[in-house]
């Protein structure tokens, strides 16, 4: 990252660079103590022009190592990087005055004295993304600092409360944190520093072995950092961009729902009878009741489930190429459109990274495969020949029925000779539609019709549960928005 020597002269036209980078680092109190450095050296009072020279700033990379930041007094709020008289902010205010800075310095010194680490995360934000989301005007070089600060206030809660085995603070007053916006590099940078104030005594928060045994845990898991980046982006998106994202995601979800709901009728079609029979034969009988794709890909060539998984994947390929082709192509097209958005936001993917669309397709295939396995498990044990015979008789019956008209279902079910005949399967609830194997095949009294019916019931239950969850989430968001509005009104904002 290069210094520009100017304020808010951000680089534009960088299409392959991530919208937000979020490097994280920390320093232990013992390291700072050994070098005679203080956590409070990071901040200074508003008038710091005498303590931070232009010469010192010219050689300064904004994302320098945290250990080096302590040797540059007032690094956080140096004049060459900020535009506000009071640029430091925290959880309660967007602009700390000199009194607030005095309290902040005291809290930082307390955290260091009690042996706690100080953490820093730096949000590096691309100029193009700022423009697209109405956060930066390249002509006037004005940025929406308040919106940026509000976003960091929310993300700070996530990092502090979910970045470790337990919340970093033992109560809401046990953490000190502050942030600042720097504008003197080709990307806009937002820094966040935080530390626990009281001495750490909780075993879950202290290293239990190794070189640093007894010291507070310092590393924040990558998944928490990724969560913070997603939260930060969402907080800052313009309503137009957010709506575009939501519409694509809604479209992907709609196609997925349609595929999942119509899959039972289409998979349990007589066109797929042979393929399903092959899948059933390939399933390991010693794992019956535990048939799952698991963590493996459907195309993986190892494991007891490998053969069944590969056959199921081929069945799904056939299904997506024929009966569900429009839905599947719509699903893939929108998912790939979201891949493009992710590249805009996160930069070009690294080698070996899976695209969002690839993950979503694998989730869909696994879900359909696991549902099929679950309901195939309801078929009671029988010989291969027995299943083959019943499948043959089933298809023969379908052909005869198509030629001779609809079968009298009540008559078939009530005819004792038909019912007791060892050479014919028990056929219940035969429908006029010959396309559904599920209504005709039975294996020892457990029919594909029952499998199909239970499958559809399960899908409806899942759909209803998802719908209720989204309804509850929307209600919570509305209540939160109302609380924020009422709070702002009460403060005269």
Q: What is the mean pLDDT of residues 97-102?
A: 94
Q: Inform me whether the pLDDT recorded for 125 exceeds 80.
A: yes
4 vs 79: which has the higher pLDDT: 79
Q: Is the pLDDT of residue 416 over 60?
A: no
**Under 8 Å between Cβ of 466 and 474:** no
Q: Looking at the structure, tell me whether residues 95 and 66 fall in a common domain.
A: yes
Specify whether 96 is located in the same domain as 119.
yes
Residue 474 lies in a domain: no
Q: Are both 207 and 278 inside the same structural domain?
A: no
Is 459 among the domain residues?
no
Are 216 and 263 part of one and the same domain?
Answer: no
Please determine, for residue 483, whether its predicted confidence score (pLDDT) is greater than 60.
no
Of the pLDDT bands very low, low, confident and very high (cuts 50, 70, 90), residue 283 is very high
- Name the token pair of 225: 């950092």
Does 221 share its domain with 250? no
**Residues 248, 394: one domain?**
yes
Question: Please, which pLDDT band fits residue 193 given cuts at 50, 70 and 90?
Answer: very high
Same domain, 227 and 251: no
* Neighbour-count burial for 65-75, b at 16+ CB within 10 Å, e otherwise: ebeebbebbbb
Higher pLDDT, 141 or 296: 141
Q: Are residues 227 and 270 in the same domain?
A: no
DSSP 269: B
pLDDT of 415 higher than 60 = no
Q: Is residue 120 part of a domain?
A: yes
Q: Tens digit of pLDDT for each residue in 346-381?
A: 665 556 678 889 999 999 999 999 988 987 887 765
Residue 53 resides in a domain:
yes
* Of residues 215 and 212, more confidently modeled: 215
Q: Does some domain include residue 1?
A: no
Do 80 and 140 belong together in one domain?
Answer: yes
Q: Is residue 209 part of a domain?
A: yes
Residues 137 and 184 in one domain: yes
Task: Please give, one letter per residue, the 3-state secondary structure of 7-55.
Answer: CCCCCCCCCCCCCEECCEEEECHHHHHHCCCCHHHHCCCCCCCCCCCHH
Which among 353, 39, 88, 93 is positioned nearest to 226, based on CA atoms?
A: 353
**Helix 222-236 vs helix 145-162: crossing angle, to nearest 10:** 150
Q: Which domain holds residue 323?
A: 243-454
Tell which of 198, 214, 236 closes a domain.
236
**Phi (first) and psi of residue 21, to 5 degrees:** -110, 145
- Is residue 218 located within the same domain as residue 367? no
Domain boundary among 236, 265, 286: 236
Which DSSP helix (H) or strand (E) runs through 399? helix 384-404
pLDDT number for residue 461: 66
Assess if residue 475 is contained within a domain: no
Q: Residue 35 sits in a domain of what CATH number? A: 3.30.930
Q: Which token pair is 335?
A: 């998912």
**Mean pLDDT over each residue of the chain, to the nearest integer:** 78
pLDDT of residue 469: 64
The pLDDT of residue 433:
38
Query: Do 36 and 153 share a domain, yes or no?
Result: yes
Of the ranges 6-20, 68-82, 196-210, the best mean pLDDT one = 196-210
Q: pLDDT for 421-434, tens place per residue? A: 443 332 233 333 33
> Looking at the DSSP assignment, which residues form a beta bridge with residue 3?
185
Report how many domains make up the chain: 2
Indicate the residue among 203, 236, 269 that finishes a domain.
236
Measured over the CA atoms of residue 379, residue 325, residue 314 and residue 369, the dihedral's sign is: negative
């Amino acid at each position: 990252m290069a210094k520009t020597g100017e304020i808010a002269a951000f680089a534009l036209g960088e299409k392959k660079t991530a919208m937000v980078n979020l490097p994280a680092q920390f320093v232990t109190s013992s390291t700072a103590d050994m070098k005679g450095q203080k956590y409070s050296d990071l901040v200074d009072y508003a008038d710091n022009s005498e303590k931070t020279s232009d010469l010192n700033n010219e050689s300064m990379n904004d994302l320098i190592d945290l250990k080096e930041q302590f040797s540059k007094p007032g690094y956080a709020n140096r004049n060459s990087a900020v535009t506000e008289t009071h640029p430091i902010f925290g959880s309660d205010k967007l602009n700390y005055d000199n009194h607030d800075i005095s309290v902040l310095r005291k809290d930082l010194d307390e955290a260091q004295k009690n042996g706690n680490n100080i953490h820093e995360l730096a949000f590096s934000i691309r100029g193009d993304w700022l423009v697209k989301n109405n956060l930066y005007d390249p002509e006037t070089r004005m940025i929406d600092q308040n919106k940026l600060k509000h976003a960091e206030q929310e993300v700070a809660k996530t990092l502090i409360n979910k970045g470790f085995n337990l919340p970093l603070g033992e109560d809401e007053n046990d953490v000190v944190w502050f942030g600042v916006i720097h504008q003197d590099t080709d990307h806009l940078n937002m820094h966040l520093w935080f530390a626990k104030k009281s001495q750490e005594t909780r075993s879950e928060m202290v290293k239990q072995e190794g070189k640093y045994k007894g010291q507070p845990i310092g590393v924040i898991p990558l998944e928490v950092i990724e969560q913070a980046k997603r939260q930060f982006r969402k907080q800052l998106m313009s309503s137009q961009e957010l709506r575009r994202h939501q519409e694509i995601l809604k479209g992907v979800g709609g196609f997925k729902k349609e595929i999942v709901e119509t899959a039972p009728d289409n998979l349990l079609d007589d066109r797929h009878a042979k393929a399903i029979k092959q899948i059933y034969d390939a399933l390991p009988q010693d794992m019956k009741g535990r048939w799952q794709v698991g963590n493996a890909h459907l195309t993986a060539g190892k494991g007891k489930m490998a053969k069944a998984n590969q056959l199921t994947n081929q069945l799904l390929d056939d299904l997506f190429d024929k009966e569900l082709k429009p839905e599947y192509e719509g699903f893939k097209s929108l998912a790939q459109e979201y891949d493009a958005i992710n590249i805009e936001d996160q930069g070009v993917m690294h080698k070996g990274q899976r695209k969002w669309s690839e993950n979503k397709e694998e989730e869909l295939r696994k879900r359909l495969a696991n549902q099929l396995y679950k309901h195939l498990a309801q078929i009671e044990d029988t010989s291969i020949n027995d299943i083959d015979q019943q499948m043959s008789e089933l298809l023969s019956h379908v052909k005869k029925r198509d030629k001779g008209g609809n079968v009298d279902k009540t008559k078939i079910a009530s005819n004792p000779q038909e019912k007791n005949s060892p050479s014919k399967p028990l056929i219940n609830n035969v429908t006029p539609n010959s396309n559904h194997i599920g209504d005709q095949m039975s294996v020892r009294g457990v029919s594909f019709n029952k499998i199909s019916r239970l499958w559809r019931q399960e899908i409806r239950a899942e759909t209803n549960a998802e719908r209720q969850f989204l309804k509850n989430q929307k209600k919570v968001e509305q209540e939160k928005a109302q609380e924020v509005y009422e709070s702002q009104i009460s403060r005269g904002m």
